[in-house]
Amino acid sequence: MDLRKEFPELKRNLYPDIEPYSTGFLKVSDLHTIYWEQSGNPNGHPVVFLHGGPGGGTSPSNRRFFDPEFYRIILFDQRGAGKSTPHACLLENTTWDLIEDIEKLRGHLEIPEWQVFGGSWGSTLALAYSQSHPDKVTGIVLRGIFLLRKKEIDWFYEGGAAAIFPDAWELFKDLIPENERGCFIEAYHKRLNSDDNETQFAAARAWTKWEMMTAHLLPSEETIKRGDDDNFSLAFARIENHYFVNKGFFPSDSYLLDNIEKIRHINAVIVQGRYDVCCPMMSAWDLHKAWPQADFKVVPDAGHSANEPGIGAELVAANEKMKNIINRN
């Protein structure tokens, strides 16, 4: 279904840059404090943005997918990421901790229910949160589907995607000695948790660059340069790797697909780039087959990043569709 044909009033462009009207820090455990912000309409329909990684943190451009006159836009940095503290911390950092944090933030902001929006790892967390608290979710918009299954991890981190990006893969591969290349996830885990800071940073840069070099259909120099930022890379790589080593802390490989029944009734849109190398379309297709009630939009000329024009346009369109549904109700 083409949402722009169904709703001709939908806008293709992202909304203009806006600044938050309130920001703060919420202590969610004895150890962790998370950064949050609100922008848009203080009396609008609440939507929570779940960033990727995990470990990626939020950025100002994330606000631009939402109509600021209609939405009360809530962004927050997950444990150890962005402005949240302690930085790059793996202790008390699981999917279930993050789900509790989302609920604590909802309570702190006195929001009865909200729309959930997430891409990449954010789609994983959005599904897990919505399945845990379906009564608190008014709608779901997902992008670049990642179900954290073994075949997805193996594809991207154990050599599958190297068939498409052999040059970028070589940089990722060469950091690891040949005798440890049987499992790159474990080899990087060892280095990202080394007692030596430079060993950690070197592994973090290599891990982050691999993802940043493959995130767009046409490589983005601006995105690739994020791998040079040691502060960003350490949180991004350490936390991602921690979640992948622990299989997302899910009880089974198919946990998210097995629990679709809990959210089948919720209005949802799935947006997927056809040539997404980081989160290949097989996962979005599997989700679509398990959840045919959700609108499914494949962007034919896009890779993984939400910043690609076709994906950004479809995400705006998806939020406009949600807005129309809310207004009709």
pLDDT digits (tens, 9 = 90+) for 177-236: 999 999 999 999 999 999 999 999 999 999 999 999 999 998 888 888 887 889 999 999
Distance CA 313, CA 142 (A): 13
Instruction: Name the active-site residue from 77, 101, 276, 295.
Output: 276
Mean pLDDT of the chain: 95
Which SS3 state, helix, strand or coil, does residue 54 take? Answer: coil
- pLDDT value at 8 more than 80: no
Side-chain half-sphere of 93: how many Cα atoms within 13 Å? 28
**Is 12 or 143 the better-scoring residue by pLDDT?**
143
Q: Does 17 qualify as catalytic in the annotation? A: no
Q: What pTM, to 2 d.p., does this model score?
A: 0.95
- What architecture is domain 3-149+250-328? 3-Layer(aba) Sandwich (3.40)
Distance CA 49, CA 118 (A): 6
Query: What are 233-279's pLDDT values in tens digits?
Result: 999 999 999 999 999 999 999 999 999 999 999 999 999 999 999 99
Query: What are 59-94's pLDDT values in tens digits?
Result: 999 999 999 999 999 999 999 999 999 999 999 999
Express as a percent the part of the chain with pLDDT over 90.
92
Parallel, antiparallel, or unpaired: how do β-strands 71-76 and 137-143 relate? unpaired
Q: Does 304 qualify as catalytic in the annotation? A: yes
Q: Does 220 qualify as catalytic in the annotation? A: no
- pLDDT value at 128 more than 50: yes
Residue recorded with tokens 């444990």:
79
- Residues with Cβ within 8 Å of 198's Cβ and at least 6 positions away in sequence, in order, are none
What are the structural domain ranges in the chain?
3-149+250-328, 150-247
Instruction: Name the active-site residue from 39, 120, 283, 305.
Output: 120
Query: What are 13-46's pLDDT values in tens digits?
Result: 899 999 999 999 999 999 999 999 999 999 999 9
- pLDDT value at 2 more than 50: no
Of 142, 97, 138, 140, nearest to 119 by C-alpha is: 142
State residue 12's pLDDT score. Answer: 54
- pLDDT value at 3 more than 80: no
State residue 225's pLDDT score. Answer: 85
- Residues with Cβ within 8 Å of 324's Cβ and at least 6 positions away in sequence, in order, are 7
Distance CA 129, CA 243 (A): 16
State residue 9's pLDDT score. Answer: 42
Confidence of residue 6 (pLDDT cuts 50, 70, 90): low
CA 161 to chain CA mean position, Å: 19
- pLDDT value at 280 more than 90: yes
Of 315, 313, 230, 308, nearest to 271 by C-alpha is: 315
CA 77 to chain CA mean position, Å: 11
Distance CA 227, CA 74 (A): 26
**Orientation angle between helical segments 197-214 and 184-192, nearest 10 degrees:** 140
